[in-house]
């Protein structure tokens, strides 16, 4: 009497099926919760990386504006020329802003659905938190518009 066929095919068959279905549902719920946690942790990590990238680009841009003023004696006129920094020249025409910044375009602040911010590198005078940069040409200060 090694095995009793009634155990597998009789009344217990429904119990075994319910047990298997229940375990499968529990497994799927645990799997969904684990995936959800991974997604949340990943999105937080990406937000931190974007914030760090913006900080690095802010310092790079501030240093470029400062160096441009030291060499030329005036702050650069960046508004409207965000995508063509080669056109931002000193009064004597010897220097362009691209040389000091190291790129032909100003860094684009990434979009954020959570903060209602669009991807932009436009320069504005007044902070509106819509993306891009806030630049005070008189003072020579520039900061992210976030």
Query: How are strands ordered across the β-sheet holding 133-136?
Result: 123-124, 133-136, 141-144
Q: Which residues contact 79 (CB under 8 A, 6 or more apart)?
A: 123, 124, 125, 135, 137
**pLDDT for the residue numbered 84:** 87
Q: How many angstroms separate the Cα of 72 from the Cα of each of 35, 82, 95? A: 55, 19, 8
**pLDDT for the residue numbered 112:** 79
Q: pLDDT tens for residues 51-69?
A: 899 999 999 999 999 999 9
**Mean pLDDT, 10 residues at a time, the chain of 146 residues:** 55 81 95 94 89 93 93 89 87 88 89 81 87 89 90
Q: How many residues does the chain have?
A: 146
**pLDDT for the residue numbered 5:** 57
pTM listed for this prediction: 0.71
**pLDDT for the residue numbered 6:** 55
Q: pLDDT tens for residues 5-26?
A: 555 555 677 788 889 999 999 9
**pLDDT for the residue numbered 35:** 95
């Amino acid at each position: 009497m090694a095995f009793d066929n009634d155990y597998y095919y009789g009344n217990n068959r429904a119990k075994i099926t319910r047990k298997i279905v229940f375990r499968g549902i529990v497994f799927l719920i645990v799997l969904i919760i684990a995936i959800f946690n991974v997604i949340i942790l990943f999105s937080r990590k990406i937000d931190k990386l974007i914030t760090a990238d913006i900080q690095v680009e802010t310092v790079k841009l501030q240093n470029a504006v400062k160096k441009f003023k030291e060499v030329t004696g005036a702050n650069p006129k960046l508004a409207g020329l965000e995508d063509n920094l080669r056109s931002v020249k000193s009064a004597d025409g010897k220097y362009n802003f691209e040389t000091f910044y190291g790129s032909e375009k100003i860094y684009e602040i990434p979009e954020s659905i959570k903060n209602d911010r669009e991807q932009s590198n436009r320069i504005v005078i007044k902070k509106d938190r819509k993306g891009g940069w806030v630049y005070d040409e008189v003072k020579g200060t520039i900061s992210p518009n976030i």
